[in-house]
Amino acid sequence: MEAWIGLMSGTSMDGIDAILVSFEGQRIRIHATHTTDYPADIRRRLINLSQNRGTPDDLGELDHTTGSLFALAATSVIEKSGLPLTSIAAIGSHGQTVRHQPDRSAAFSLQIGDPTLIAERTGITTIADFRRRDMAAGGQGAPLVPAFHKAFFSASDEDRCILNLGGIANITHLPASEEAVVTGFDTGPSNALMDAWCQHQTGRAYDKDGAWAEEGSVDQSLLGDMLSDAYFSRQPPKSTGTEKFNLEWLKTLLKRHPDLSGADVQRTLLELTAVSVAQQIPHAPGMTIFVCGGGARNRVLMRELQRTCSPSRIASTAELGLDPQWVEPAAFAWLASQTLSGRPGNLPEVTGAIGERVLGAVYYA
């Protein structure tokens, strides 16, 4: 048996999800999972760095610190699994994105979490830096998980859409027809913007179950201002992040809406995610939308998505055999297997790259 580790930390910057899996045809066998939370001060420094509030020393120190935490997450999931190191082929580490600027003339995407530390401390070959090769070929470098979705979640008898509700929301449309093109892109903000507003207003890191949002009401005027942002009407390929959809973006819009309560703003942010997804998602008769990512645990958001995306059915990727929390970590385990096998990991029709590319850099144990 050949096993792989996937390490993922998204734009919400709350911690590192680690999964140890093996791939058996189209079946994913999970041996163990583990989450390593970021300490509050590290999360604060990462958020500051992502908003260009940091020095080269901060960048270097956080690259080392997060690399150490990624290595800890990997060793922890190995210990939980009980598998011998010799059965683990490689680690695929997404790293921690601190800046993603795919639309500049000098486009770049920066992930930290020193992979040399991961390889050194685990004794396992580590693949990282997955996004830049796609960008070198003219792509957005994101989203990369649609290739994994296509490999494991496609069905010949059903149109499916995989909706990842992470810090940013992204979709993958998987048509039933094998001749049809798989499409995917970032639709806009999701948890990161709601989390930032919740932290700013209440001191809580996130709005559990959407309970605070449920206390408020949607302000249609603010929602309209948000949806007027050019990103939502832009044609794919496209990707975005907290570089654009952040607390300062929201505060600028709120200057025109000074009398709204904190809960009303939170509810309107939740509605922004639900509506922007519904407006951009391809709708096909009988299509099911399978949700993954942290937003799948937001009861109110899931309810509102069912309303805005009707008549499509909203379901969890758990129905497809993979819990919502572990889809993206599993994807980077699979991407590592693609890289070591010399197979491409991107979908050019999704990222906009000029062709398929083998992704990532390999750091041998």
Nearest to 206 by CA among 53, 14, 5: 14
Q: Is cis: bond before 311, omega within 30 of 0?
A: yes
Q: Is cis: bond before 237, omega within 30 of 0?
A: yes
On whether 14 is known to bind a ligand per the annotation, the reply is yes
Q: Quick one: which H or E segment has residue 169? A: strand 168-174
On whether 172 is known to bind a ligand per the annotation, the reply is no
170 vs 144: CA distance, rounded Å: 10
293 vs 12: CA distance, rounded Å: 11
292 vs 301: CA distance, rounded Å: 12
Which residue is it, tokens 């919740």?
198
Helices 56-81 and 115-122: crossing angle in degrees, nearest 10, is 30
On whether 10 is known to bind a ligand per the annotation, the reply is yes
On whether 126 is known to bind a ligand per the annotation, the reply is no
Contact 310, 257 (CB under 8 A): no
Contact 169, 274 (CB under 8 A): no
156 vs 174: CA distance, rounded Å: 10
On whether 16 is known to bind a ligand per the annotation, the reply is yes
DSSP one-letter string for 235-293: PSS----TTTSSHHHHHHHHTT-TT--HHHHHHHHHHHHHHHHHHHS---TT-EEEEES
Q: 33 has which bridge partners? A: 19
114 vs 116: CA distance, rounded Å: 5
3-class state of residue 55 by DSSP: coil
**What residues are designated binding site for ATP?**
10-17
**What residues are designated binding site?**
10-17
